[in-house]
Amino acid sequence: MPGISDSKCVLVTGATAGIGRALSLAIADLPSSPTVIAAGRRQGRLEELAKSNLATVQVDVDTDKHALKKFVDDILLKYPDLDTIILCAGVQHEFDFQKQVDLDKLTSEININYISVVSLISLFLPHFLKLADRPCFIVTVTSGIGIVPAPHVLNYSASKAALHSFSTSLQVQLRATNVHVLEIIPP
C-alpha cells in the first residue's frame, strides 16, 4: 500500500511550530527525499526551517477564500508535482461563556481549525484527482479533544470534532479514487 514516504512533494501548513514543524522536518529526512514546503505565519521561524533545506512560504490561513485560492494557485504553479497536503495549522483559545466572549477570537478559531482546512482541501482536490496514475494524500490533524471535549476549550473541541467528522466522511467519499485521506488524532 502506498504511503507518504512515496510522495514527491508535500505541503505542510502550520509548519512553524508543534506537530507541523516536526512533520516537516521528519518528512524532509525520508530516504525518498520529497520536496517539503513548510507553510506558516511566522517569517522568522520559516527562515529557520529554510536552513534545513525545506522550501518555505508565508501564509495566514485565517483569511478569505480569495486569498486561499491565490495561495493554492501559487503553490500549484511553482510545485506541479504536489501530491500530499498535511494540514496542521491550528489555534486553541480558552473561553468562559459565563463571561463576555471575544466573538472575533471565537470566529477566528473556527476559521483556522475548520473552515480553512476544508477550503484548502476543496481547492487542492481537483489537482490531486488529475494525478490519477499515482497516490495522493490529504492529511488532517484533529485532536482527541474533538472526540472527548474539554470544557475550558469548548470552541476548539467543537472545531476539531467538525474536522474529525469531515475527514471521516471525505475518506469514504474518495475511497474509489487515488486520493487517500488520513487523520492524525493527537491527544
Count CA within 13 A, CB hemisphere, residue 146: 24
Nearest to 186 by CA among 83, 64, 90: 90
| Marked catalytic residue, from 156, 159, 160, 163 | 156
Residue 146 CA: distances (Å) to CA of 57, 95, 142: 29, 16, 7
**Is 156 among the catalytic positions?**
yes
CB atoms within 10 A of CB 27: 22
Identify whether the C-beta of residue 141 lies closer than 8 Å to the C-beta of residue 167: no
Q: How far apart are the first and last CA of the chain?
A: 27
Please give the single-letter amino acid code of residue 111. Answer: N
Please give the single-letter amino acid code of residue 49. Answer: L
78-98: b or e for each residue (b if 16 or more CB lie within 10 Å)?
ebeebbbbbbbbbbbeebeee
Active-site residues, by number, are 156
